[in-house]
Chain A
Amino acid sequence: MTSGYAIVAVLVVALGTILVGTYGLRVSRTTSDFYVASRTVSPWWNASAIGGEYLSAASFVGIAGLIFAYGPDMLWFPVGYTAGYLVLLTMVAAPLRRSGAYTLPDFAEARFRSRVVRAVASILALAIGWLYLLPQLEGAGLTLNTVTGAPDWVGALIVTLVVTVNVMSGGMRSITFVQAFQYWLKLTAITVPIVFLIVVWQVHGAESMTKPEFPTFRQDTKVAFSHQTTIHAEQSIFIKGSGEIDGLRIEDAGLVLTNGYHRIGQGSEFTFPQGGAVPHVSTMDHNTNATWALPESSGQKFPLYGVYSLIIATFLGTMGLPHVIVRFYTNPNGTAARRTTLIVLGLLSVFYLMPPLYGALGRLYTPELLMTGQTDAVVLVLPTRMIDGIGGQLLGALVAGGAFAAFLSTSSGLVVSLAGVLSQDVLRLGGVRGFRISTVLAGVVPLAMTFVSTGMPVADMVGLAFAVAASSLCPLLMLGIWSTRITTVGAIAGMLAGGVPALTAGLVTMFSDADDSWYEVLLSRPAAWTVPLGFAVMYVVSLLTPRHVPPGVQRAMVKLHAPENLGLDGSGPSSADERS
């Protein structure tokens, strides 16, 4: 569905982002401006910015795609992404802000007074950030591929360039404006089209989405296969077109696709008949719309384990994401940090009402995506498919622009926080120049990774980043904030015990072809075993090494928990005298 309007929308979003960023350049002057906008951002601005940054490719296109393909089990993604903020609010928001550090490694050092704890936290923050950037870039590639037919790497390259240039020139102050603007843009871009789509669905007779039938083509549908695809047909079906099927070259002719598996060559284009049952990509189970709408219909092994692992990863992983954490330092104090988080909860709740609607409508209107496997494209394809003419094209352009905004904003946030970590902990280059060099590095690494990864759904990839965060940085934050017994040795052991297995599992699933072995789900959804492992190791090792409790832990606790306006710092009488 190549559409001129969509290309224009993507360009406008990219240029607009750069413009707003340049405007920020004039405002941001000092190093502190660069890192955290000098901490002068109001809760509404900040909450919009957090929302803008958090609603990533996974939220904008990925969730709808997964729901479309696998049914209500995937609803735990939006629920978990939101509930993660409740956990963040209740357990870490205010203390994190009161710790007064710029990045997560700063927090680790402030709390544990240990360079080693800091170093481990830095490496994990980098790994999580890059793991999270990768799906953003892949999503951008997919979007550009869907709307213009450009190769996948073009979108990834554009996002990397825009983000790197933007972050280098403006730093975080401009990013705060950009992000806040992006939230509202994304909300508009996903809400306006779905309103029209639902009206159209009503006009078409409000066809039930849960009929006991396999998804069928609503009209004769021409499908282009951009990759070699193995599909499985449940019923034999007569198709026309050109391309390669099971090694047989066909030029503009008809063919009966018997039921069973078929390999369709790259670049094939076939027209599937109206009313025919849609073949599925071989890795996906056939479901009637009725069974699709039931829980545990995803056809994955051990669905209950998968769901619980997802719940654990998303509920606890949010607090460990580097770009989320860095936002909290831009609140003026702990109380404001709490209020900001509450507003974020509201903003996310509104947004997440939309993606499931796209997923469900997709079953009726764009079932061929189940065959090409590009389920993530459902949000992008639906408007032009359901509404003919210029209206559909404009709505499609709006969605494409919103999706691009999603990639840009999340990537910006990640690059800012990763650049902060890189310049302070890895390259040890201070000042604005160090930040700029780090920014380039932060953007280039995931761009390189996109060339080697196998295409898995973006929301699943994001889920892996959440799992690593939940198993390593979440125990550090939770136990570090609420327990005085955690020792430096315990903190390091716990982060490694949870983070390393989760990271390994994630990389294995991401860079090797998924197979059907029984332990596959343990690797693709590792949180259910790595998170308890991280927590348990951190706590038990701490109890075993009581002599390594960091010095000044009481003072650190006062700083984390006492309201700022009381002038408490637990710093002892001498410094209180100096101050007066």
Chain B
Amino acid sequence: MTVPPPQDGPAPKPTQRVVVTSPRTRAPRARRPYSGTREINEQSELGAVYMRTLIRAQRRLGLSVCLVVCGSLSVLPLLFSIEPDLGRARVLGLGLPWFLLCVATFPMLLLAGWFYVRQAERSEREFAELVERP
């Protein structure tokens, strides 16, 4: 921008304060466009932290669903062995072992699976929101 040549005429106005604004494109916010996606792809420290968080969350979820379900199933043989009377108990006209293993187990497995899928997808969604935030 060139300064116009001084002209004759009325004396220049006294200095005026003008507010100058500027989009602060360069200075401290320079790292902003580095989304989590890029951090991970460039294998930075931050990217590794993102991934570790996701993996840990998924591992904890998977292991806890597994342990709760398989753990509670695995107690049964021991219970029947320690307390043989349990094996003779009857539920809905079936022996207790038969009722538990033929009827009750399957809905429980399905429920656990459904819960796991819902939680796993949610934690992936949260991860996506985290890393895609500009």
Contacts and interface: CB of A to CB of B under 8 A. Distances in A.
Nearest to B121: A335
A87 interface: yes
Most B CB atoms within 10 A — which of A349, A565, A566? A566
B39 to A, nearest CB: 10
Interface string B82-116: 00100110000001011001110111011011101
A75 B112 CA distance: 20
Contacts of B107: 349
Interface stretch (B14-22, B25-33, B52-60): B52-60
For the complex, would chain A's binding face be called helix, strand, loop or mixed by DSSP majority? Answer: helix
B124 A563 contact: yes
A554 B42 CA distance: 11
A555 B43 contact: yes
A566 B132 contact: yes
B75 to A, nearest CB: 11
B41 A296 contact: no
Contacts, number: 150
A561 B48 CA distance: 12
A310 B80 CA distance: 16
B100 to A, nearest CB: 9
Contacts of A562: 40, 51, 54, 127
Given A352-B106, A558-B51, A304 B78 contact: yes
B40 A90 contact: no
A338 interface: yes
Contacts of A570: 40-41, 43, 47, 51
B116 to A, nearest CB: 5
Interface string A307-335: 11001000100000000000000000001
A83 B124 contact: no
Contacts of B69: 83, 86
Interface stretch (A15-23, A120-128, A162-170, A571-579): A571-579
A353 interface: yes
Interface stretch (A29-37, A172-180, A187-195, A339-347): A339-347
A335 B124 contact: yes
Contacts of A566: 37, 128, 131-132
A210 interface: yes
A296 B51 contact: no
A345 B113 contact: yes
B81 to A, nearest CB: 5
Contact of A72 (B66, B97, B116): B97
B31 to A, nearest CB: 14
Interface residues of A, number: 54
A561 B55 contact: yes
Contacts of A335: 121, 124
Given A293-B98, A558-B51, A568-B41, A563 B106 contact: no
Contact of A557 (B55, B117, B131): B55
Contacts of B46: none
B132 A554 contact: no
A90 B40 CA distance: 24
A79 interface: yes
A539 to B, nearest CB: 15
Contacts of A296: 80-81, 87
Contacts of B80: 295-296
Contacts of B54: 561-562
A345 B107 CA distance: 10
A294 B81 CA distance: 10
Given A307-B77, A561-B55, A87 B66 contact: yes
Contacts of A346: 110
A482 B127 contact: no
Contacts of A294: 84, 87-88, 95, 97
B57 to A, nearest CB: 10
Interface in A400-439: none
A465 interface: no
21 contacts: A75-B97, A83-B69, A83-B70, A86-B65, A86-B66, A86-B70, A86-B109, A295-B77, A304-B81, A308-B77, A311-B77, A335-B121, A342-B117, A345-B109, A349-B106, A554-B51, A557-B55, A561-B51, A562-B40, A563-B127, A576-B41
The 7 closest A-B pairs by CB, nearest first: A349-B106, A75-B101, A90-B62, A295-B80, A72-B97, A307-B77, A294-B87
